[in-house]
A = this chain, B = another copy of it.
Amino acid sequence: MSVLIVGSTALDSIKTPTRENPRLLGGSASYAAVAASFFSPVNLVGVVGRDFPKKYLELYRRHGINLEGLQVSDGKTFHWSGEYEVNMNNRRTLSTELGVFERFTPHLPESYRNAEFVLLANIAPSLQLHVLDQIRSPKFVVADTMDLWLNIALPDLLKLLQRLDAFVLNDSEARQLTDEQNVVQALKKIHQLGPKYVIVKKGEHGSIVSGPDGLFVAPAFPLRKVVDPTGAGDCFVGAMLGYLATHKGDIDKKLRKAVVYGSVVASFCCEGFGLARTTRATRTMIDDRYREVEALVKF
Contacts and interface: CB of A to CB of B under 8 A. Distances in A.
A299 B260 contact: yes
Count copies of this chain in the complex.
Answer: 2
A297 B204 CA distance: 16
Contacts of A205: 202, 205-206
A86 to B, nearest CB: 11
B218 A222 contact: no
A205 B201 CA distance: 12
A226 B182 contact: yes
Contact of A224 (B89, B182, B219, B299): B182
B215 A222 contact: yes
A18 to B, nearest CB: 16
Nearest to A221: B217
A164 B223 CA distance: 26
A87 B175 CA distance: 13
A296 interface: yes
Contacts of A89: 181
A222 B226 contact: no
B184 A224 contact: yes
A256 B298 contact: yes
A214 B185 CA distance: 33
A267 to B, nearest CB: 12
Given A202-B205, A205-B202, A217-B219, A257 B299 contact: yes
Contacts of A183: 204, 222
A296 B222 contact: no
A182 B225 contact: yes
A35 interface: no
A295 interface: yes
Contact of A222 (B87, B181, B184, B202): B184
Contacts of A222: 183-184, 208, 215, 217
A56 interface: no
A259 interface: yes
Contact of A216 (B87, B223, B226, B296): B296
Interface of A: 87-89, 181-185, 202, 204-206, 208, 214-219, 222-226, 256-257, 259-260, 294-299
19 contacts: A87-B181, A88-B181, A89-B181, A182-B223, A182-B224, A184-B223, A184-B224, A185-B225, A202-B205, A208-B222, A214-B295, A214-B296, A215-B222, A216-B299, A217-B297, A218-B299, A259-B299, A294-B299, A297-B297
